[in-house]
Every structure is written in C-alpha cells, then in structure tokens.
Amino acid sequence: MVLRFLLLFSLAIAWQTCAAQLVVNQVWKLPQKVSNNAVCEGFVNGVPHLYSFTGIDSTKQHEGIHLKTFCVNLETGQSQVLENVPDTMGKVACGASRIDSIIYIVGGYHVFASGTELSSRKVHRFNVNTSSFISDAADLKIATDDHMQAVWRDSLLYVITGWNNTRNIPNVQVYNPASDEWILGTPVPNLDSYKSFGASGVIIKDTIFYYGGAASVPGFPIQYNLRKGVIDPNNASRITWSDVSMDMETVGYRMAATVVNGVSHWIGGSAVTYNYDGIAYDGSGGVDPLNRDLYFVPGDTFWTKTYVDQLPMDLRGIAKASETKQFVAGGMLGDQQVTDLVYELSWDENTVGHRVAKRQNQVCAWPNPAQHHLRLGPSMFSGQQLNYRVFNVYGMSVLSGKCSAQNPVISIVGLQPGNYVLVLDSEHYYRFLKR
C-alpha cells in the first residue's frame, strides 16, 4: 500500500481567520490586592464597570479571605470599595454572572481557623443601577464552589459541577430570575473526567463548553477534558452531554472563560492544581501562571495557544465590556504574588491577516502526498532543532520527536491511514491526511 500525507494548507489558514490575536495591557488597579475573586461586568449609564466580589488578600492565609466588593470604572480607571457581600464570613471560589442589571454571586466556600472548609448555598444579588446589594436569591439546591457558571440566552443561569465539601459533584443547577427558583438539570456523567472543581466554561448559543479543572481523587490531578452539553431549547433543564476529543497534554486550572466572536477562549490559569494559597496539591511547591490564551473552533480537534508576557492565574471570571475588549482583575502572578492589577484583553482583528500570512510563508513540507516520510523546509527552523508531535483525530499523541536543520525528516512509517495534526514547538500546526 502506498502511504500518503496530504498537507491541507487551506484548512489551517481559514481556521486562523476565525480568531484574532490577543493583546494584553495593564490599564487600571483595584483598590486592594485580591485573588480567587469573582469578577463580572456591569454598565452604569452605558459606561462599563468591573466588579470584584470576595476573595483572598496578599497574605494568602485563611484570615485574609474576605467579603469585599470592589468596582473599577473601565473608562476612567476610578476605583472604589463598595459594601461587603452580605454573608457571615469571607469566602473564595464564588462565581459571578450578570443578567440585565443584576449580578448573581453564587456559591463559594468558607475556611475556618481549623482548616475546615464549608461549601456555600448562598446566592447574592447586586444591583448595578443602585450600586448596592438587594435581597439574596433563593439558595442553591446543592452547595457548590469552584464550579463552572454561565448565562444562557440572557435569561437563565447555569451552575455546573464543582466541589461540595468532600468531593466533586455531577449536578447541574439552573436558576430562573423571573421566578427566583432553582431546578436541577441533566447532570454531567458521574465520571471523574466530567466532574470537576476549578473548571471554567461558556455557553455559545445552546451549547455549553467547560474545560480543565481538577479531579476529586488523591492529589487532585489536573484535567485536560473539554466537555460539551447541548441544551434543549424547548426544555432548558434537559442537556445532552458528550466530550470533545482534544490534545490530552494541554491542561488548565482556574482560568477565565469567555467568548470572542463566537470562539470560546480560556484565559490565564495554571498547569498545576493548587490550594487557595497558591501551593500545589501534589506537594511540588508554589505554582506559576501559564500566561496563555487557549481557544478552538467547534468541529476541530486541536487547540491554538497564544502566550503573552503576563496573565494571572487563580481567575474566577471576566468583565466583558464588548465582544473584543474584556478585562480580568486580581489573581496571582509569578511566585504566587497576589495582584491588584486590571488587565485589558483586546482581540485586534487587524492583526489576523499579518499573522496568517507569516504562518503561510513559513509552511514548507513535502512530499505531498508522502510515502514514508515528511520533509520540513529550512524556513521552519529558527534554531538547530525543532520538536514535533503528531496527533490523531481523537487528540491522542501518536508520534513525537526532534528534527534538525541538517536532517529535517519526520518518518511516518507505522501510522495508520487517516487525518493527523502536526504540532511544532513554535506552536505552528498543520493538518494532514494519510491515505
């Protein structure tokens, strides 16, 4: 049998034009340093504001866990301290989502002096128009923290999986603001690959995507899973769950999730799971941020990653001023340093054409189709060697190695016919078909 690779340049280029390059700028400051804080946007007379609820201060000790509320005017940078979240003691790992002019601050957990942790059922409501809290919403049916939280069709709030005192839970809880009621939706599969704390996600039209997090098994290992739930528009509590086959070596924990022009993005986070103090659960010490924007287009089986100089970890939300201008605030930087910085995230559509053209010029691989090997052109090498990995359509790594400029050949002997993605250490990727 003649084995062939077909390099599909057009697919990679067309896909790239769906997502713009991330640009990160430090713009403002919160009144105080805070991490693991729930962040959401609100609009006051049309002016976007960022709100931060609860969290932990720079001590990273349980005594520093608080109920403080901060606000930043995203046009002027003016910041202020507002009234505390109306609970009995400080908490972390809450979620915040806005429906119309009300922000819902959901769940979280308290830490006692003994080290005991208690998940919360509380749902607080903050009125953006009056800049004050109103009466709490109905309690969650099941207490949860470090959960995934998102709004569907500007009308219903979904709270998905998360941690409940001793374990991850599969529950999906759906809140209707019109009736102030929670109902239980179709739970996620009762598997460690679906149940998660520290995952984050979005809802795009009628589809839920949530990604990463930690499993509730010894050591709380980090998860690579991307899960998908399709909401029945005629019965919003009915959800069909499945997983999306992606690269199993790409992981993430406590990232901010958002949507940009129909593409889901996961911002910041870490590649190791950790407690509220930034120290790894596995005993390896302090954890540092990934400094990454991770995204994919539904239908594809590979991630695209953009790395920037500085993006925090320990994020619990994002303030969306517009489709392509959004903000994160607080979190931890390198060496687990709690920050008060507000970062503007902008996806500049004008950079897309340049970036794609640059990648296209660097593409040089042949023969096409290939029988036994694939040769990379000299323009692929910025140094003496290049690391590569090949993934199949299920996101499994099936081949890896190094190429040198002196011998730029990848052997494909032994690969079965099918579609493959080649990922190079410069984060370039190419899709192949082996027949």
Query: What's the rounded Cα separation, in Å, for the pair 435 and 368?
Result: 11
Which structural domains are found in the chain, ordered by start? Answer: 22-348 (2.120.10.80), 363-434 (2.60.40)
CB-based contacts of 51: which residues, under 8 Å, 6+ apart?
39, 40, 41, 42, 69, 70, 71, 96, 103, 126, 128, 319
CB-based contacts of 377: which residues, under 8 Å, 6+ apart?
364, 365, 366, 408
DSSP code string of 324-358: SEEEEE--B-GGG-B--EEEEEEEEGGGHHHHHHH
Are 395 and 426 within 8 A, CB to CB?
Answer: no
Enclosing H/E stretch for 79: strand 79-82
Enclosing H/E stretch for 171: none
CA distances from 137 to 51, 119, 151, 353, 430 (A): 19, 17, 16, 47, 49
pTM for the model stands at 0.79
**Pick from 184, 179, 96, 86: which is nearest to 132 by CA?**
86
Each of the 435 residues of the chain gets a pLDDT tens digit; together they read 333 333 333 223 233 334 467 999 999 999 999 999 999 999 999 999 999 999 999 999 999 999 999 999 999 999 999 999 999 999 999 999 999 999 999 999 999 999 999 999 999 999 999 999 999 999 999 999 999 999 999 999 999 999 999 999 999 999 999 999 999 999 999 999 999 999 999 999 999 999 999 999 999 999 999 999 999 999 999 999 999 989 888 999 999 999 998 999 999 999 999 999 999 999 999 999 999 999 987 777 789 888 988 899 999 999 999 999 999 999 999 999 999 999 999 986 544 333 333 333 344 556 656 667 787 765 555 556 778 888 776 667 788 888 877 778 888 888 877 777 777 764 454 554 544
